[in-house]
A and B are shown apart, each in its own frame.
Chain A
Amino acid sequence: MSRAEAVPGPDTRPDLGEAVAAPAGATRSPGLLWTFGLFRSELATTFRRWRTIALLGVLAAVPILVGVAIRIETSDGSAAGGGGEGPAFISQVTNNGLFLVFTALAATLPFFLPMAIGVIAGDAIAGEANAGTLRYLLVAPAGRTRLLLTKYATTMTFCLVATLVVAVSALTVGALLFPLGDLTTISGTRISFAEGLGRALFIALVVAASLVGVAALGLFVSTLTNSGIAAMATTVGLLITVQILDQIPQLHALQPYFFSHYWLSFADLMREPVYWDDLVRNLGLQGLYAAVFGSAAWARFAAKDITV
Chain B
Amino acid sequence: MEELSAAESDRTDDTGGAGAVPAEDAVIATRALTKRYRGGQLAVDGLDLTVPAGSVFGFLGPNGSGKTTTIRMLMGLIEPTSGTARVLGRPMPRATRAVLPQVGALIEGPALYGFLSGRDNLMRYDAADPTADPRTRRTRVADALDRVGLTAAAGKKAKAYSLGMKQRLGLAAALLQSRRLLVLDEPTNGLDPQGMREIRALVRELASDGTTVFLSSHLLDEIEQVCTHAAVMAQGRLVVQGAVADLAAGARGRLVVTTPDPGDAARVLKEQGVADLVVTETGVTAEPPDRELAELNAALVTAGVRVRGFGVERASLEDAFVALTGEGFDVAG
B41 to chain A, nearest CB (A): 11
Does B90 contact A307, Cβ atoms closer than 8 Å? no
Per the CB 8 Å criterion, the residue count for chain A at the interface is 49
B90 touches A140 (CB 8 A): no
List the B residue with the shortest CB-CB distance to A138: B77
Contact between chains at B53 and A16 (CB < 8 Å): yes
Within 8 A of B (CB), among A233-252: none
Nearest residue in B to A130 (C-beta to C-beta)? B111
Query: Residue on B with the closest CB to A140?
Result: B128
Answer whether A143 and B130 are a contact pair too, CB < 8 Å, given A13-B209, A19-B210: yes
In this assembly, does B136 line the interface, its C-beta being within 8 Å of a C-beta of chain A? yes
Smallest distance from the beta carbon of A229 to chain B beta carbons, Å?
A: 16
The answer to whether A135 has its CB under 8 Å from any CB of chain B is: yes
Task: Please encode chain B, from 247 to 267, with 1 for each CB lying within 8 Å of some chain A CB and 0 for all others.
Answer: 000000000000000000000
Please name all residues of chain B whose beta carbon is closer than 8 Å to the beta carbon of A133 when the two chains form the complex: 111-113
Q: Does B2 contact A (CB under 8 A)?
A: no
Q: Are A45 and B75 in contact (CB under 8 A)?
A: no
Q: Which residue of B lies closest to A31 (CB)?
A: B130
Q: Which residues of B contact A41 (CB under 8 A)?
A: 123-124, 127-128
A140 and B72 contact, Cβ closer than 8 Å, known pairs A10-B139, A10-B140, A305-B78: no
Q: Is A253 an interface residue (CB 8 A)?
A: no
Asked whether B124 lies within 8 Å of A135 as measured between CB atoms, the reply is no
**B contact residues around A77 at 8 Å (CB):** none
Known contacts A10-B140, A45-B116: A141-B125 contact under CB 8 Å:
no
Residue A30 CB within 8 A of the other chain: yes
Interface residues of A in 161-200 (CB under 8 A from B): none
Name which of B92-100, B214-222, B284-292, B295-303 contacts chain A: B92-100
User: By DSSP majority rule, is chain B's interface helix, strand, loop, or mixed?
Assistant: loop
Do A9 and B128 touch (CB < 8 A)?
no
Q: Which chain A residue shows the least CB distance to B54?
A: A16
Report the separation of the CA atoms of residues A41 and B134 in the bound assembly, to the nearest whole angstrom: 11
Partner of B131, one of A7, A20, A132, A307: A7
Contacting B97 at CB < 8 Å: which of A40, A137, A143? A143
> In the complex, which residues of chain B have a beta carbon less than 8 angstroms from the beta carbon of A13?
178, 209-210
Q: Is A37's beta carbon under 8 Å from chain B?
A: yes
In B109-155, the 8 Å CB interface with A consists of 109, 111-116, 123-136, 139-140, 143
| Stretch touching chain B among A21-29, A93-101, A257-265 | A21-29
Q: In the complex, what distance in Å separates the CA atom of A146 from the CA atom of B127?
A: 12
Q: A30 and B130: CB pair below 8 A?
A: yes
Known: A16-B210, A25-B90, A141-B96. A45 touches B124 (CB 8 A): yes
Q: Give A302's nearest chain B residue, CB to CB.
A: B1
Q: How far is the CA of A117 from the CA of B228 in the complex (A)?
A: 52
* Least distance between B103 CB and chain A CB atoms (Å): 7
Residue ID in chain B nearest A39 by CB atoms: B127
Which residues does chain A contribute within 8 Å of B229, judged by CB atoms? none
Q: B53 is contacted by which of A3, A20, A40, A141 (Cβ under 8 Å)? A: A20
Cβ-defined contact, A307 with B134, below 8 A? no
Chain B min CB distance to A41 (Å): 4
Any chain A CB within 8 A of the CB of B177? Answer: yes
Residue numbers in B under 8 Å from A48 (CB-CB): 115-116
Asked if B180 CB lies within 8 Å of chain A CBs, one says yes
List 21 A-B residue pairs with CB atoms under 8 Å apart, sorted by A's residue number.
A4-B133, A7-B131, A9-B133, A10-B177, A13-B178, A13-B209, A24-B88, A25-B90, A25-B98, A28-B131, A30-B131, A35-B130, A131-B112, A133-B111, A136-B128, A138-B77, A139-B76, A140-B125, A141-B128, A143-B130, A307-B77
Given A25-B95, A135-B72, 18 other A-B contacts at CB below 8 A? A7-B132, A7-B177, A10-B139, A15-B210, A20-B25, A25-B90, A37-B128, A37-B134, A41-B124, A41-B127, A41-B128, A135-B108, A138-B96, A140-B126, A143-B96, A306-B77, A306-B78, A307-B78
Which 6 pairs, one residue from A and one from B, show the smallest C-beta to C-beta distance? A25-B98, A132-B111, A16-B210, A140-B128, A41-B127, A24-B89
- Residues of B whose CB lies within 8 Å of any CB of A are 25, 37-38, 53-54, 72, 75-79, 88-90, 95-103, 105, 107-109, 111-116, 123-136, 139-140, 143, 170, 173, 177-178, 180, 209-210
